[in-house]
Structure 1
Amino acid sequence: MNQPVSRASVHAFYADAILRGRNTAENLQAATSERFNTLLESIGDGTPRTALDLGYGAGTYTIALARAGFRVVAVDQIPSNSLLQRIDDGSDWAHRIEARECLAEHFAFDENFGVVVAKDVLHYLARRDVESLLTSAIAHARGANYHYLEVFTGITRRSADGRLLRIEGEADYSPDAFRQVIERIYDGWDLTVLLSEHAEQDSRTGRNCFEATRATVIATNRTA
């Protein structure tokens, strides 16, 4: 087995990509997904106007939430300068965003968030941290809450020379194992789990460097 890629090097890669505004093979600069847009448009007045974007990256989902009227706590391990630069334009929604520099697994839930977003971040964490975070989010949920997760499962990574790679300590869920975890944790919530195949190409070789099944989770707690 090859030596795993350190989590520190992964953190450094994303910090540099965001700082430089670079798009990566996974399309860090992409717009919000149609599934998320549809969910956001469906949220009614009974949902608390507070949101958490866990692992906000380029800040696209954070900004969409703020524009929709939510007070957003935006959490990421990268310095917040890039996000603050995107919102420092006098927009009437900019004051709704609070950026916190923190590893996702170290975030402590201390309030009820009407919306929780975790896109392309949870698969980097250890399984115990994924499950602890989601369990804590649910424990603080009050009223009509929505959770939107995008998590890669069944991951295969390859280096430019074709070697298999893995990241130190990552969850490494299979699609079925992840679905079972989600169904257990979100017991009593309305739950949708959508699976789709995903691949990314190495720009140097044109070959796939990342293949996975993307799990999109939309969980709704309708208890008022």
Structure 2
Amino acid sequence: MNKQKRHEIFSRFRAENPSPKTELAYSSNFELLISVILSAQATDVGVNKATAKLYPVANTPEAIYALGVDGLSQYIKTIGLYNSKAKNVIAACKLLIDEHNSEVPDDRSALEALPGVGRKTANVVLNTAFGHPTMAVDTHIFRVSNRTRIAPGKTVLAVEKALLKFIPEEFLVDAHHWLILHGRYTCIARKPRCGSCIISDLCEYNKKIIDE
């Protein structure tokens, strides 16, 4: 795919959705961090349902740490892998309290040192909370990048690096959200909705389904 096509693709994404946002519900950087940790192998809708009950009760590192693993588990037991996630969240809260003055760090290495936080989670927090031009490659972004040929790659890291290399700089901060939303609602896994896709004429997928 050439530079002009990529620029037009992201121009269209921006025109349709000038200020894209995560679908996770949060009101602070700390709430965002916890929601992203909980969202691994879970839906944003499912996480939001759990945190809608959790955050009014506990939405600071101290308050969630005070719940303990068992107490936190009661709020998030509807989310997959909730036992291990509860342990990670409690441990992460302790580290935030002890080492970061209860603030979410604006630093990749510090974020990745928190239990339950890997590269993808750190990228989401850096991008959404702090405006860094990072690319958190989830299953949606991996699929869209390869299927459209915007930034093909065999691994998550390869796709991340390709996206950062090929996406025009003016679009980088918001590109993560546009690609996730496109993969979640249009370029879906089993049967992409090519007939209602705003970039179908630019996409280089060779098995387009135009029957809508």
TM bucket normalised to smaller: under 0.3
- Greater share of strand: 1
Q: Which TM-score applies when normalising by structure 2?
A: 0.27
- Greater share of helix: 2
Q: Which TM-score applies when normalising by structure 1?
A: 0.26
